[in-house]
Structure 1
Amino acid sequence: MTKAVRVHQVGGPEVLTYEDVDVPPPGQGEVRMRQHAVGLNFIDTYYRTGLYKAPALPFIAGNEASGEVVSVGPGVTNFHPGDRVAYYFNLGGYASERNIPADKLVKLPDMITHEQAAVLMLKGLTVFYLLHKTFRVETGHRVLIHAAAGGIGLLACQWAKALGANVIGTVGSKEKAELALANGCDHVILYNEEDFVARVKQISRGELCDVVYDGVGKTTFPGSLSCLKPRGMFVSFGNASGPVPPFSLLELNNHGSLFATRPKLNDYVSKRSELIEAADTMFAAVINGKLHVPIHHAYALKDAQKAHRDLESRATTGASILRP
């Protein structure tokens, strides 16, 4: 038996249940791993509330973690007991030990800690595909990043700046503004005190942005469209304030022949080769000093309810982890 946090019915943080679960021996192509750190993400709340539908109830929450290999199942030849590994995989992460398909694992370089890996495998890989694949950020681009002081936001600001972009971020407090500025933002907008569209126009001298990365959703739409120059791209990758409401495609025309996309990580790392490319690039950015991993909060796994309450109330900055 091992400890895990399961959801027996969707709802608020109170449905996260810390309990004993049985983990069978790893099956064909699987690895059993002992987890040292688990990433906390807004997507975890989407599954918990039922916004994203889990395959079945009950389910174990969590989508990224790191640890070490305990044993391997039949057919696994590229991983061995003692290997340091990490993964992004839908559900099953909030546990002390688990089985996972070997092809979803990556080996950790010696210079990457378990804590760093636990927040990089979803948040870091998300930033990788957003900035390198969905819209390729290059020197001279002006980018707007909503929730710039969040787990993804701080990584995105750093990496966009390292790629040569001019970075504008929106945040909810002066403390978060200072954090964003220290992590690559050239300009920070306090969205509770300022009209972020008007400020973007002022900062850019009317030239607007090449791309908007929006993980907030309902409250920042449609303002995000008004921040884009003609043929700019609106990238909606999260729903922290609720889903973007349905809108007419004519809105994209009216704002200057805009592009809009709603990507997800799974579609950018569906092939093993894509996962390895993304992880290698991301780990190299950390090792080379381009990317600092800001872990500001750590909770015991048994305190997952509190972690979710803090996350949803916007009480956290940077990345958060759970310790099994």
Structure 2
Amino acid sequence: MKRATLLYNPRAGSNRAKRLEAVERAKRVLVDAGVAAECVATQSADSAGAQARDAIQRGSDTVLACGGDGTLHDTLQGVVGTDAAVGVIPLGTANALANDLRIPAHPERAARTILQYKPRWLPAGTISYARREGEPATRYFTVMAGVGPDAAMVYELSAKWKNSLGLLSYLVKSAQLFLSHHFATFEVEYDDLITGMRHTTQTISVMAVRITDFGNVLRKLAPGAALENADLRIVILTKHPRINFLLHLTSALVGYRPGLPGIKFASASEVRCHVLDGHREEQTIRAEADGEHLGRLPVTIGIRQRAFRLLMPPDRA
């Protein structure tokens, strides 16, 4: 790392002055280590990707997303396909990737940790979906993508809730959805990479997971998932959807156990989600990636090999 850009969202969090101070503290650690570093505020909610690419074109060999999984998600859109490395300084509500990479939730300690990490080429998840107006779009992701309850939760969860309650907000909103929300059924199709068999089933929920350990209140959401893997680890609720949504949430708190009834795990390189024939519920079936609400069905979740370079612990680089 010789020249780094620290991207942060000045509008995120309940204490914006404190956030800027945290970014500056991380920057000082890098500068003291001989890195030419600059802090750059994102201009809008979805400008991080373009700003990351601009920083790379101006000579940055590293872009550090200072925030949560959403900040990294936006930054990733501009880093994929370049030789620059991307890293994380965790300052957000949800820091799943930072937890998986063992990066401390403290600006100086995170920066010192990042200085010891090495860049590694990794696959990136891809998700194609329909925007609100119906036009197609595609995004890259690192942590997970989902269709169904988790996306509905992200859609319903306001920034005010996240800022005031943090991770508790996710649990509160999940409980509310469990008690009150109707989850529409849709069709999912995938080829199991282990058995070679094609599966088509109906479900209310699909998640494609790319990391091992979410940390905090969540542990292993999908056993066998890892950033280094060339596939997606998928989780599908196969029956008794309302009961299994609660089971899904509860078991995630302690780590999934193999053999849970109504929950299917598989490895796949692509997952296709469609509205059932004769149904008109595509507007209510939502999609998300890395905790960011994206759009609706139809959705295809896939993977792009050797997509980006991520700063990782030496034992994983």
Report the TM-score, using the length of structure 2 for normalisation. Answer: 0.28
Query: Higher RCO, 1 or 2 (CA under 8 Å, sep at least 6)?
Result: 2
Report the TM-score, using the length of structure 1 for normalisation. Answer: 0.27
Q: Which has the higher strand share?
A: 2
